Amino acid sequence: MSIAEISQDTHTTAGHTEPASTGAAAAGLQALRDWVDAIAALAQPDQVLWCNGSQRESDLLTKQMVAEGKLIKLNPEWRPNSYLARSAPSDVARVEGRTFICSEREDDAGPTNNWQDPASMRDELAGVFSGSMRGRTMYVVPFSMGPIGGPLSQLGVQVTDSAYAVLSMGIMTRTSDAVLDLIADGTPWVRAVHSVGAPLAPGEDDVAWPCNETKYIVQFPESREVWSYGSGYGGNALLAKKCIALRIASVMGRDEGWLAEHMLLIRVISPEGRSYHVAAAFPSACGKTNLAMLRPTIPGWRVETLGDDIVWLRPGEDGRMWAINPEAGFFGVAPGTGESTNVTAVETLWGNTIFTNVALRDDGDVWWEGLTDTPPAHLTDWEGNDWTPDSGRPAAHPNSRFTVGAAQCPAIASDWEDAVPLDAILFGGRRATNVPLVVEATDWTHGVFMGATISSEKTAAAEGTVGELRRDPFAMLPFCGYNMADYWAHWLRIGQELRFDRSPRMFQVNWFRKDDDGSFLWPGFGDNSRVIEWIIRRLDGDVPATETPIGRVPVPGDLNVDGLGLAEETLGKLFAIDAESWQAEADLTEEFFDSFGTKVPAALRAELASLRYRLRTS
């Protein structure tokens, strides 16, 4: 049986399987059909099949891919309904150097994005996409980011010649025929075109992971389009994720008065049973997933997961900020995820999971570095080669992934698909020096300044100096679909739509400050709940704060460190603010702002000047 036999409401014409409809719906769907036909005429697939996101569809695709050698079925005793994919060694991550924002004006893309003239880019894409799907099936995937029909949701349709992408999109989005009904009713939708760029000649055998050395990931912000060519991996192929939910959605948010953010979303529940909603923007390798699935170490506190990667924010008529997680699944980095670091994530992966580029155990289960303290004596590594602990190389690729439904997370909130009112926003980077454990912004503008200046240190800083900083404003550097300075201005405008007493409070956190010997000063992981506790107490007005030149920090004794055995000297180092080092950091911030020319909002320039004044006079 083929996937084309799944839908009971389809008809086939000229090799195409598409929805059958009449009347107004037929008229409403005509633009979609015309677009699909145009892509098919360009890419020349053998057939076009419309997907509906059903379990039966997923089962048929996985059986097909296992038969073709493109998926390895894992041992159902250990990992039911789960599969392992191995990519080509040249196709293992996002390709930022080949990611383009093709806005009509170069200035709208800004200095942090790769820009190319949209007309010339369309010519290039027409060349590489011509015949790119020969010998393959083109799947049409209608999807919703956010619950179908939800007030904050957005629709899209992706065409792709990758069955792996179809399966993954079925986990990460709400793929459904119901999306077509909304399109028929006139709901706008984003167009996404994807090809692995590996056409097959008649009789030619396929490979386990088709791809092309030439790659394009192109966003056209004004026309709400994404075109991706050459890669089958991650955000390069799952276009609903970074390409649409962040790059295109950020532009939509700019135009429509909302925000698309690279943030996690959690509900924190106090011992008294009060709920608080917290979003946090962290660059990669800064503890984002661990915080999204936090298990507090302090008695009585609980955390429920609402989202681990992307949040859409909208000002409400009540003056509050409302947030949703638009995704339906988790696409997480496997290495480093283990029983000692994130047991919730490990428990989420009990089954119904697609693993990519992890190692295979001899018993048919999977393994990666960090899953257990001791590796198995023998594995098959991510490239299909024998591996032992003496092999001298990782068994799993450092960017190996798991794709799993969010509803499967044991910490997921029962109402995780609903919008929630936001109480606090956290910003954080990996800083060995300078940045205290937690700092509260004095107001919305100061919070935007904090977000705009997020950075991580590339290398450990020498004593008394600021290390080389990798800037990642709002953790959005690779994902903002327009000029970053305009993005900061948009954040400032959004703040004006909120009631001053109902807008989220903003904080900067840093779990990674180090002692002189290079050891971490803060235990991190579950003990980060102690910082969250202090933040909640600040929201409730239960504790005062100490004013410093960079913001508000806990009064000594107010941060709960019971049982940690931290010396007073260690606590002092966690909150130490060296004026000379911060003046040097202010100079680096000015250089960073100058790279955006005159577009940097005057309010942020004023925040920088105020910081320097406070440092001089403190």
Domain range summary for the chain, segments of one domain joined by +:
3-70+92-257, 261-327+417-617, 329-408
Q: Report which residue type is found at 459.
A: T
3-state secondary structure at position 573: helix
What is the per-residue pLDDT for 286? 86
pLDDT at residue 2 is higher than 90:
no
The domain defined by 329-408 folds into Phosphoenolpyruvate Carboxykinase; domain 2 (2.170.8)
pLDDT of residue 458: 65
pLDDT for 504-526, tens place per residue? 999 999 999 999 999 999 999 99
User: Which residue in 60, 216, 40 sits closest to 123, CA to CA?
Assistant: 216
For residue 279, is pLDDT > 80? Answer: yes
pLDDT, tens digit (0-9, with 9 covering 90-100), for 436-457: 999 999 999 999 999 999 999 8
23 falls in which pLDDT band (50, 70, 90)?
A: low
CATH of 261-327+417-617, one of 3.40.109.10, 1.10.3720.10, 3.90.228.20, 3.30.1490.20: 3.90.228.20
* Residue range 145-176, pLDDT digits in tens: 999 999 999 999 999 999 999 999 999 999 99
CA distance 433 to 279: 24
Q: Decide if pLDDT at 27 tops 80.
A: no
| pLDDT band, very low/low/confident/very high, at 467 (cuts 50, 70, 90) | low
Write down the pLDDT at residue 461: 32
pLDDT of 534 > 70? The answer is yes
Residue 287: what pLDDT?
86
Cβ neighbours, 10 Å, residue 500 = 10
Above pLDDT 90, what percent of the chain? Answer: 91
Candidates 279, 260, 259; CA nearest to 268 is: 279
The answer to whether domain 3-70+92-257 has CATH 3.40.449.10 is yes
pLDDT of res. 24: 53
Please provide the average confidence, as pLDDT, over all residues in the chain.
Answer: 93
Is residue 301 within 8 Å of residue 289, measured between CB atoms? Answer: no
Q: What 3-state DSSP class applies to 78?
A: coil
Give the pLDDT band of residue 468 (cuts 50, 70, 90).
confident
406, amino acid identity: A
> CA dist 597 to 86, 371, 610, Å?
44, 46, 20
Q: Which residues pair with 224 in a beta bridge?
A: none
Look up 286 and say whether it is catalytic: yes
pLDDT tops 80 at residue 252: yes
Statement: residue 604 has pLDDT above 90? yes
Mean predicted confidence (pLDDT) in 412-425:
98
CA 391/CA 455 separation, integer angstroms:
35
Question: For residue 98, what are its two tokens?
Answer: 């080949």
Separation between Cα atoms, residue 530 and residue 527, nearest integer Å: 6
Q: Is the pLDDT of residue 48 over 80?
A: yes
Percent of the chain with pLDDT over 70: 94
462 has a pLDDT exceeding 90: no
Nearest to 247 by CA among 476, 480, 474: 480
Taking the C-alpha atoms of residue 411 and residue 425, their distance in angstroms, rounded to an integer, is: 20
616 to each of 410, 577, 584, 610, how far by Cα in Å? 50, 13, 12, 10
SS3 (DSSP) at 575: coil
The whole-number average pLDDT for the span 104-112 is 97
Tokens 């949209």 correspond to 118
Report how far residue 353's alpha carbon sits from residue 402's, in angstroms, rounded to the nearest whole number.
7
Q: Reply yes or no on whether the pLDDT at 26 is more than 80.
A: no
User: Using CA of residue 399, residue 404, residue 408, residue 412, what is the dihedral sign?
Assistant: positive
- According to DSSP, the β-strands at 354-356 and 401-405 are antiparallel
Give me the catalytic one of 51, 102, 211, 286. Answer: 286
